[in-house]
Chains A and B, each alone.
Chain A
Amino acid sequence: MKPTRKRPNLSRRAWLATASGTAATGLVMTRWDALKATTPGSAVSSAAVRQVPAASADPTKIPGRFVSEVGRRATGEQPVRLVRTLALSSSSRTPLQDLQGTITPSDLHFERHHAGIPEIAAEEHELLVHGMVERPMVFRMADLRRYPQMSRICFVECSGNGGGAYNRNRMPTTITPQQLDGLLSTSEWAGVMLSTILREVGVRPGASWILAEGGDAAVMSRSVPLEKAMDDAMLAYGQNGEAIRPEQGYPVRLLLPGWEGNAQVKWLRRIEISDRPTMTRDETSRYTDPLKDGTARQFSFVMDAKSLITFPSYPYVLPDRGWWEIEGLAWTGRGRITRVEVSTDGGRSWADAVLQPPVLSKSTVRFRHLWNWDGRETVILSRATDETGYVQPTVHQLWDARGEGTAYHQNHQRAWKIASDGAVTFGLGDLL
């Protein structure tokens, strides 16, 4: 690992730090002041080989470019998704360590497809709603858009997110937030409440479940309790100000705020109201959690409280001791995050982090914590508390409760080890 200065001379703060001496002035350093360890061939360095225009030596002496129909990112800002494999059933991960605030740019929203991304024309798409209803109906997109619209900001997370950090036999160290927990994204979603559509078709007494089915080549389908469908489920067709992206289910997806991503069926084409679950492949063979007592937890929809420090994290390297701002994300599927604590001594003591507005129910919240690093090796962690009083558990608490038979719902506390030379690595293994 050879540290390289990430963005020389572009950050005013970095320039000040260099010119005046960081520790002496008491400047707070952030990720912009850190170095990055490079790992050849990895996604970490892939942005460097992308074709981007060079910055002007003196932009006050060279007229700028013209207006354009569609914008582009700044030359030095080229975050990319991390693609697992180029296969029909695959995923790509959001670059959590490169983002700010809570909204994920739509083109960086994580992906999980089971048979590729279908090409669907909105004008041709139909949603069939039938089963235990008074009036089975077909809705075209133009119909759905005529209903009263609702919008909300919430996260979508794959329940397998972070599963790579649970196995004591292969605990990684050189792993980025993106590799670890990048199956998490947050958007402002717009659409029609599913309860509005269910009111239109008239749900019959005795109904208790719905089946949501996608129009992709896997005909992805999941059963969802009617209670959730009538509560805050949404048929989302808008994402961050534009039409929902094809990778997120264009022209319409099921949105189940706070629940595991797999159940939020994309490219939604059919909803069947029923009195029992269908027991589809993805709610039996997959997305179930074998427990230590020999049972398997099924329909474990809700994503429990979780937090992750995104800086400092691998591959960052802290070049100096002194004041650093730790930052990260916290979220819970059970409502609001009420508290995030940070430990800079391996979990011996904890301090409240600052929650950065907005703090929204079932959304990610960014937290920050000032830390005066003394230059000695240590481990930093975060833990989130939600409004139900649930505190993000340690990995041992989780294993004590469940055993080690499932990679799903691994929401335990994440740790980063800071070496005395400033190199940061994933540090959970040190706590085992």
Chain B
Amino acid sequence: MGCAGGAGALLGVVLAACAPDTGGDTGVAGTAGPGSHSEVAFSGSLPDQAPERFGFGAPASADRIALWDIDIKPDGEGLPPGSGSVAEGQRIYELSCLQCHGPTGTEGPNDRLTTAGEWGQWPAGRTVGGYWPYATTLFDYTRKAMPQTTPGTLGDDEVYAVVGYVLHLSGLVPAGAVMDAESLAAIEMPYRDRFVPDDRKGGPEIR
């Protein structure tokens, strides 16, 4: 079995060198000349003599972890203390978001946020109300990446507020809503259950 064999390229598999006069049985014809082309399959295995631990790197303190551990899980884990109202969110939106997303979140020039007039269609673009499966994602993304030219500048209360306003524009929370860790995690996005795992697996079937 030559280069094509065991081609799952599984870890630790070392393939024999191709026969020099045939170019191997890879389906490779001899146009490149009869080189002594040999291949060693990729292996991620450590050498046998590797220690259990190398000891490189430094322990991470709880404070150090807290500084960077900013992601929000879909059940709300990671949401910080604080809160913000839809009304306050509108003020922040008009100051920091409207320029790119338009007066009602539909006009652009950047990504459309809302689905005005398109309820009942799915997917209605890739907008928050028309597509996003989790409201927590909106907090996670907004706090990390928005506003685009001054990312990371909104405080947690401001992020709660503007997230609440975008959810309100999407018809998902009332005008009087206040967003905090509890209320945001409790929101069930309309299309959450439509997301399914990848079922492609290679082989002859086209999926």
Task: Provide the bound-state CA to CA distance between A278 and B79, in Å.
Answer: 12
Given contacts A130-B69, A335-B8, A362-B9, contact A356 B31 (CB under 8 A): yes
Q: Which of B9, B37, B64, B191 contacts A357 (CB 8 A)?
A: B37
Q: Using an 8 Å CB-CB cutoff, how does the interface string of A269-283 with B read, 1 for contact, 0 for none? A: 110101011111100
Task: Provide the bound-state CA to CA distance between A135 and B198, in Å.
Answer: 32
A294 within 8 A of B: yes
Task: Provide the bound-state CA to CA distance between A284 and B137, in Å.
Answer: 8
Given contacts A138-B57, A361-B7, contact A195 B64 (CB under 8 A): no
Q: Which of B37, B60, B71 contacts A278 (CB 8 A)?
A: B71
B41 within 8 A of A: yes
Task: Provide the bound-state CA to CA distance between A367 and B58, in Å.
Answer: 48
Q: Using an 8 Å CB-CB cutoff, how does the interface string of A128-150 with B read, 1 for contact, 0 for none? A: 11100001111110011011101
- Tell me the residues in window 4-40 of chain B with beta carbons closer than 8 Å to chain A beta carbons: 4, 7-9, 11, 23, 26-29, 31-32, 35, 37, 39
Given contacts A270-B68, A338-B7, contact A390 B28 (CB under 8 A): no
| B144 pairs with A295, CB closer than 8 A | no
Task: Provide the bound-state CA to CA distance between A195 and B12, in Å.
Answer: 13
Q: Which of B39, B47, B200, B204 contacts A304 (CB 8 A)?
A: B200
Task: Provide the bound-state CA to CA distance between A129 and B59, in Å.
Answer: 10
Given contacts A269-B68, A299-B198, contact A280 B141 (CB under 8 A): yes
- Tell me the residues in window 49-79 of chain B with beta carbons closer than 8 Å to chain A beta carbons: 50, 52-54, 56-60, 64-65, 68-74
Given contacts A231-B44, A278-B73, contact A360 B39 (CB under 8 A): yes
Q: Which of A128, A135, A213, A359 contacts B4 (CB 8 A)?
A: A359
Residues of A close to B73: CB separation below 8 A: 274, 276, 278-279
A388 within 8 A of B: yes
B95 within 8 A of A: no
| A298 pairs with B9, CB closer than 8 A | no
Task: Provide the bound-state CA to CA distance between A152 and B52, in Å.
Answer: 24
Q: How far apart are B97's CB and chain A's nearest CB, in angstroms?
A: 15
Q: How far apart are B17's CB and chain A's nearest CB, in angstroms?
A: 12
Task: Provide the bound-state CA to CA distance between A276 and B72, in Å.
Answer: 12
Residue of B with least CB distance to A194: B44
Residues of B close to A302: CB separation below 8 A: 198, 200, 202
Interface hub of B27, B198, B203 (most chain A Cβ within 10 A): B27
- By the criterion of a CB under 8 Å from any partner CB, how many residues of chain B are at the interface? 72
**Complex interface: stretch among B84-92, B125-133, B167-175:** B125-133
| A217 pairs with B145, CB closer than 8 A | yes
- Tell me the residues in window 135-164 of chain B with beta carbons closer than 8 Å to chain A beta carbons: 136-137, 140-141, 144-145, 148-149, 151-152
Residue of B with least CB distance to A214: B144
Task: Provide the bound-state CA to CA distance between A391 and B202, in Å.
Answer: 9
- Tell me the residues in window 339-398 of chain A with beta carbons closer than 8 Å to chain B beta carbons: 339, 352, 354-362, 368, 386-391, 393, 397-398
Q: Using an 8 Å CB-CB cutoff, how does the interface string of A106-145 with B read, 1 for contact, 0 for none? A: 0000000011000000000000111000011111100110
Residue of B with least CB distance to A202: B53
| B203 pairs with A146, CB closer than 8 A | no
| B195 pairs with A295, CB closer than 8 A | yes
Residues of A close to B32: CB separation below 8 A: 356-357
B42 within 8 A of A: yes
**Complex interface: stretch among A15-23, A243-251, A285-293:** A285-293
| A393 pairs with B206, CB closer than 8 A | yes
User: Can you report 22 residue pairs joining A to B where beta carbons are below 8 Å apart?
Assistant: A146-B54, A195-B44, A196-B44, A281-B145, A285-B132, A296-B194, A297-B200, A298-B196, A300-B200, A304-B200, A335-B7, A335-B9, A336-B4, A336-B7, A357-B23, A357-B32, A357-B35, A387-B7, A388-B203, A390-B203, A398-B206, A402-B207
- Residues of chain A at the chain B interface (Cβ within 8 Å): 88-89, 114-115, 128-130, 135-140, 143-144, 146-148, 150, 152, 193, 195-196, 199-200, 211, 213, 217-221, 231-232, 234, 257, 269-270, 272, 274, 276-281, 284-286, 288, 290, 294-302, 304, 334-336, 338-339, 352, 354-362, 368, 386-391, 393, 397-398, 400-402, 405
- Known contacts A143-B57, A361-B8, then 17 further A-B pairs from the complex at CB < 8 Å, ordered by chain A residue: A115-B145, A138-B60, A146-B56, A232-B11, A232-B42, A234-B44, A272-B69, A272-B71, A281-B140, A281-B145, A302-B202, A304-B200, A335-B9, A357-B23, A357-B35, A359-B26, A405-B123
